[in-house]
Structure 1
Amino acid sequence: MPALSFTRRAVGAPDLPAQQVVFQAACAARGWTAGGSVCQVGPGLDAWGTVIRLVRTAGYGVVIVDPLDRIASTDTGRSAVLDTLRRAGVRLLAAHDGIDTGDAIGAGLVASLLDTDRAAVAR
């Protein structure tokens, strides 16, 4: 299965090669093909539009991030990304955290996180 790496770094900070090392190791351990990479620099969620486009057009089967908190810089952002990926049918592997939305446990955990976040907002 072709995999896409998602990394995040602060503005002005050096690249984070450790995230790429984890990506390569996760692919090797699962027999996946390490493909492209999308990097979000600084705050915001702009890069996720690119991720979803690449998954749909380039045939990536999974997006790998390390750790889960790299998907966004805030809790609200993380919830938005997780919900967007779930609705788009994009499989996410948070390698460090062992969360894979391609299996029932990982999908259930993400659904639980989203439900908890929605309940907190409703209060």
Structure 2
Amino acid sequence: MPNKAFAVPEHRRDLNGGRVTTTGKKAPSQAIDTTSGQELFTALNRSKAMIEFDLKGSILSANTNFLQLIGYSEAELIGQHHSIFIEPADAISSEYKQLWTSLAKGTMREGEYRYIAKGGKGYGY
């Protein structure tokens, strides 16, 4: 069984490490083995805006592309919850809670999501 899987919009769950990663564009929807997928991950990290969360939604890391797009520094984001990128009313919705419940179970989610950058500018993924 592979220990990484991709979902859209790039919420990737590490089955062993308990992490979810978001990138800004659609990634392969099939699971990949990390030994053969390291090169793919490196290419995605260089070309896509990527952010990594634990399974509860806390931010673990973000690449330079994501930081430039969203306007935060890594120090401002690490440890914050994903909900800083969405409208407050959406953060308390049952749909949002279900999103994180599904991701924690390894369920792939596909859709367009709007992120709010520092200063309030919105981006759709």
Higher share of residues assigned helix: 1
Identify the TM-score tier after normalising by the shorter chain.
Answer: under 0.3
TM-score scaled by structure 1?
Answer: 0.26
